Structure 1
Amino acid sequence: MEFSNSCELLLELRKKDLLKNRPKYWWPNVGTFEVVMGAILTQNTKWDNVEKALNNWKSENKEWRLEEVATFEPSFLAEIIKPAGFYNQKAKRLIALSRNILRDFGDFENFKENVSREWLLAQKGIGFETADSILCYACFRDTMVMDAYTKRLLKKKGYEFESYDDMKDWFERGVEENWDRVAEFYENDLNLCYARFHGKIVEFMKHG
């Protein structure tokens, strides 16, 4: 698989039908607070473990709701999310984040509409990848997520970048400069393109 820009990589990955039977935006339950939970729980662990943690609550027919998480005791949440590892630390950070969202935005819908990357990065435990995952999959923002799979794929092909944002800029520039070539596949929705592009990379590196 050869490519000289991110658009060519996207088109190569698209030939492989990697997201068959996956949700439209790849990440499960996009646009919900569950995405925020998942983005933090997936730090330093496998997604299978995250799903176990999320399902511990959902198995009782409960949704993950911002207002509820904000009221949890850390020990109570830690027990629920135990399969995701680092559960005491993640519980404290999720509760603090939930309270800060309510304090600064009032509710989740307003958060989705108005949160900035800078605000997210100022929260304890949120780095670039987690912030972009929340923006892309919870808030439907036009932003590409960079993760370890992405870095590994590019490194194998001789591409290395000095920083996370340099790599992100390379991806987004390649798509935007060639948008006429890919727009029809993604219903003229740039975020749908970025969401599925990230998903294709993950699935390719895990199973390709």
Structure 2
Amino acid sequence: MDNSYDLLLFLKKQDLIEEHLEYWWPNNNDFEILIGAILTQNTKWVNVEKSLGNLKKLDLLSLEALSQADLPLLIEAITPSGFKNQKSVRLIKLAKNILEEFSSFENFKENVTRDWLLSQKGIGQETADAILCYSCHQEYMVIDSYTNRLLKRFGYEFDSYCDIQTWIVYGINENYDKIAKLYGYEISLNKLYARFHGKIVEFMKRNPKG
């Protein structure tokens, strides 16, 4: 394997993602994805789904509602996701900051930057890129522990998150014309990065050892 295009070719042959899952992420509501990206830190997605279900029942799935949420009630609602006290405080603060900076969720999606997200308490590089890619539909490739472990299997080791991201993005951009032919249509970079990340995750779940 010489580059990330070769990795994409390898993964695409595995039939890892159902076609109807356009972006792979197991939720297609952009606001729920934003909240889910925070809740999924250090836990499994099945636990996040329980928390999102609780938030939906309480009508807390909006910036306005979250920013004014009763803290004990929010803590109870997101208990399945773990780190409930910490995550509750951060969700309320994030909702307030988005409203203050962007006024609305739609404006946030269009104008938020990676630097702004990284300046928010509790949002690191992986979470920021997940929000940008899956919730805001911007052109960012998410790098996670699955990505790092898979690349090590192929003999690639990197010093940092940014080094892995740069390597993957370079290979994709250098071979974009080939990729469009591979898919049979002109796939957007956002959708490509989302599906590429999804393929990596699904492959590693099915092949944890190798």
Both proteins in one fold, TM over 0.5: yes
Q: Distance in 1 between matches of 2:49 and 2:116?
A: 27
Match of 1:161 among 158, 161, 164: 158
Alignment of 1:67-146 (within 5 A): 67-146=64-143
Give the match's secondary structure for 2:41. Answer: coil
Residue 207 (str. 1) matches residue 198 (str. 2): no
Maintained 8 Å contact 1:31/1:139: no
Residue 7 (str. 1) matches residue 5 (str. 2): yes
Q: Deviations over 1:97-137 (max 9, x none)?
A: 00000000000000001000000000000000000000000
Maintained 8 Å contact 1:50/1:84: yes
Q: Distance in 1 between matches of 2:105 and 2:186?
A: 26
Shift of 1:28: 3.2
1:24 equivalent in structure 2: 22
Maintained 8 Å contact 1:31/1:140: no
Maintained 8 Å contact 1:132/1:145: yes
Alignment of 1:141-152 (within 5 A): 141-152=138-149
Q: Distance in 1 between matches of 2:13 and 2:58?
A: 38
2:167 equivalent in structure 1: 170
Pair 56,165 (structure 1): closer, same or farther in 2 beyond 3 Å = same
The one-letter amino acid paired with 2:172 is V
- The percent identity for this pair of structures is 57
Q: Deviations over 1:121-180 (max 9, x none)?
A: 000000000000000001100110001111111112211111111110001000000001
The number of equivalent residue pairs is 205
**Unmatched runs of 5 consecutive residues or more in structure 1:** none
* Worse overlay, 28-37 or 163-172: 28-37
**Unmatched runs of 5 consecutive residues or more in structure 2:** none
Q: Distance in 1 between matches of 2:202 and 2:119?
A: 30
Maintained 8 Å contact 2:16/2:202: yes
Maintained 8 Å contact 1:32/1:138: yes
1:57 equivalent in structure 2: 55
Output the TM-score relative to the length of structure 2: 0.92
* Worse overlay, 48-57 or 189-198: 48-57
